[in-house]
Amino acid sequence: MTTVAPGTTALDRDWWKTATVYQIYPRSFADANGDGMGDLPGITSRVDYLAALGVDAVWLSPFYPSALADGGYDVDDYRDVDPRLGTLADFDTMAAALHAAGIKVIVDIVPNHTSNAHPWFLEAVAAGRGSRARERYVIRDGSGAHGAEPPNDWESLFGGSAWEPLGDGQWYFHHFAREQPDLNWEDPEVRADFRTTLRFWADRGVDGFRVDVAHGLVKDLSEPYAPWREVAETLRADGSHPLWDRDDVHEIYAEWRAVFNEYDPPRFAVAEAAVHPSRRARYADPQGLGQAFNFAMQEADFDLADFRATIEAGLADVEVTGSTTTWLLGCHDTPRVATRYGLPLAAGERAQQVARQWLLSDGRAPEVDLALGLRRARAAILVLLALPGSTYIYQGDELGLPEVGDLPPEALQDPMAVRSSTEKGRDGCRVPLPWTTTGPSLGFGSGGSHLPQPASFAAYAVEAQEGDPTSTLSLYRQALALRSELNRGPELHWVDAGPEVLDLERPGGWRCVTNFGPRPVDLPTGRLLLTSGDLVDGRLPADTTAWVATS
């Protein structure tokens, strides 16, 4: 397999800096074999859709063999495809079809933990205390008589103790579900094996990697252990947290960079790193992963001050990193944007907070104004696509899908929900896409759907939106096509448009104006390119964005 592209230009090498990336959650995208679970041939069958949408790249959440204790983020084998999702040959066919359509392929690498069915972990369980096999994981002696108690009181992010007993007085550490034992990154074999995995996919033509929990790999488990109440707060600006964002993690990424640079163009990587903002730059270092997710936009409310501050902070970051920033409204871990923006907020309340209370606990369902939420989500995506840097689009947001907040409890799969009697978890944004307005699982596949689709999804189907120039899908298509023409150079100038209007200008006289206030406002003079909603007497109404060419 050839990996060298002769005549590669700087533009080819830097494609990711301004890319629009579409996140595919493979189990919920398209199901080719009718077993109710999306698969790689399903993605191949929808390449035309992705090309018509106009995205530059797709990022695939994990499709590796997995017992799905955490939606595939519990990996049994990093260098294969889950048989329910296809084969390596299906992967090659899919990648070739995407590449033929001009779409790059990014895969998810999960280095913090394996699954508990990974051969390494099975070996570690069987091999016993003091064995070489146990060195690949974070394993410690328990406390109390015969190690019957966990080593300390640390908790897992999914609830309960972060330690599980191995039955012989030793315990393994897991940041996430108990089916996700954390790897020991001090072990040279662990390091070498992941470099092999990166080459395995890069050799198959993968263009880049999304690095899961990039800030968690290196840990300081020297004793005495700090009490959980100190460790629970994860963000520190000085790298002193025992479990998160330790300086040494960047040694690993320097090794990975050497692997990425073996290829032409060099392979790209983006870090998922929930770190103190002042430390994000380290993950975006060109000598390391190169880009780091900026999640601030999905935390922001639909609010002028929030948007402006978030954009300014993202751009300031770029000054430090020399990379580009990423903008996103949602992903597979976050309540859908069309619902967030339609939540009723009391004074001082934040949408993410309210959404979490409702969706992640057993709170009373609020009256969501979905029409308002969608109107705002449409306005927001035009802002994101008008910004310098890279924009990530979560599958289904281009259809305006709402969160499914009322999945029956027996349908829930997310370990956050399964492990708790009160939390609903993240399944509500992972419900399979509706492609057609009728038929079994609304065109997702010929069988059922691994998470039930509500009847209301039919109205959001691709089929229903495709021919409608006012649909959200049409808005995304037009915006992505225009962006690829208009996005020239990284500069952004703010235009002062008063307390209720966000107004920014990009090179070439590309203006993006959003009305966050209640009353219609005048548009700048120029040629109207696109609006997220209808104008009212030629003026821009509330919760609406317009792109205008002023020169």
- Kindly list the catalytic residues: 212, 272
Is 215 exposed, middle or buried (CB count within 10 Å of its CB: 0-12, 13-18, 19+)? buried
Between 67 and 315, whose beta carbon lies closer to ligand GLC? Answer: 67
Residues 6+ apart with CB under 8 A from 261: none
Distance between CA atoms of residues 324 and 307, nearest Å: 18
Residues 6+ apart with CB under 8 A from 26: 38, 39, 40, 42, 43, 60, 61, 62, 63, 72, 85
- Site residues (CB under 6 A) for ligand GLC? 70, 73, 110, 176, 212-213, 272, 332-333
Residue type, 86: G
When CB distances to ligand GLC are compared, the closest residue is: 73
Concatenated DSSP letters for 235-263?
Answer: --SSS--SSS--TTHHHHHHHHHHHHTTS
Between 155 and 500, whose beta carbon lies closer to ligand GLC? Answer: 155
115 phi, psi to nearest 5 deg: -90, 170
CB 110, min distance to ligand GLC, A:
6
Between 18 and 28, whose beta carbon lies closer to ligand GLC? Answer: 28
> If we measure between CA atoms, which residue out of 520, 515, 517, 506 comes closest to residue 546?
515
Between 213 and 377, whose beta carbon lies closer to ligand GLC? Answer: 213
Between 63 and 73, whose beta carbon lies closer to ligand GLC? Answer: 73
Between 205 and 216, whose beta carbon lies closer to ligand GLC? Answer: 216
Residue type, 415: P
Q: Is the dihedral of CA 160, 162, 164, 168 positive or negative?
A: negative
CB 2, min distance to ligand GLC, A:
32
Residue type, 481: A
Between 59 and 201, whose beta carbon lies closer to ligand GLC? Answer: 59
Strand residues in 157-234 grouped as ranges (E): 163-165, 170-173, 208-211
Q: Are 145 and 169 in contact (CB under 8 A)?
A: no
Residues 6+ apart with CB under 8 A from 400: 338, 374, 377, 378, 460, 472
CB 507, min distance to ligand GLC, A:
34
Distance between CA atoms of residues 541 and 539, nearest Å: 6
Distance between CA atoms of residues 376 and 533, nearest Å: 10
CB 272, min distance to ligand GLC, A:
6
100 phi, psi to nearest 5 deg: -60, -30
Q: Are 81 and 62 in contact (CB under 8 A)?
A: no
